[in-house]
Amino acid sequence: MSDNSLRLVWVYPDLLSTYGDQGNALVVERRARQRGLDVQRVDVRSDQPIPTSGDIYLIGGGEDRPQRLAAERLVRDGGLERAVSNGAIVFSVCAGYQILGKEFVNDQGQRQEGLGLLDVVTVRGEGERCVGDVLGDIDPRLGLPQLTGFENHQGITHLGPTARPFARVTMGRGNGTGDGTEGAYNDTVFGTYMHGPVMARNPHIADLLLKLALDVNALPAIDDRWYEALRAERISAATQPA
């Protein structure tokens, strides 16, 4: 990318845009524009090829059948893997997170191939569904404040040796494995179960993606009062006794 332009790709909004996850694209776009960046946002439907020249790719959650269709088309297309090999950043949520892994269990109860961009495998949980508010501590290497979000998934995601946990939960189930992990990442590919949308609750994650895309250590400050008010409200609500 050039010093003042950004190409933001929202992947398959017709299949993977559940729980308001398109809000992540809105937040990244706004926070980039507030810093004077010229943003080109590209919404790519599932009947269109994935462009390989994007800087940041965002993938949302979806129900089981749309997830299967999205995975089949992304694997067949190959564009997202080529974009990552070119240095693109990818941030995925819930069903999108599972698709980025090596495999997951689809709506037909079968193991389905993922993109293999994250060293994770997702199986279907046998217990109660993971639903509710989540709080967690993001990997200190990423330099981000407390994570807040909302999870709603039946999948249990196991991390392989090359995947780092995106966060450690202090409330909620996260990956559902019982080890306290939430999400996963390696290099420029990130996955999480957090809805909310997660960027509205955690704008510093959007800033992290921008810094990676720009290859800078810091961004100009902007007015965060609205975001901080939302964060404080949701964290307070999550920690109040039932």
Q: Which of 153, 158, 195, 204 is catalytic?
A: 195
Q: Which of 94, 130, 153, 204 is catalytic?
A: 94
Catalytic residue list contains 195:
yes
Q: Helix crossing, 203-214 with 22-33: angle to 10°?
A: 60
- CB-CB contact of 158 with 97 (8 Å): no
Known binding residue 168? Answer is no
Residue positions in the annotated binding site? 129
Catalytic residues: 94, 195
Residue positions in the annotated binding site for substrate? 129
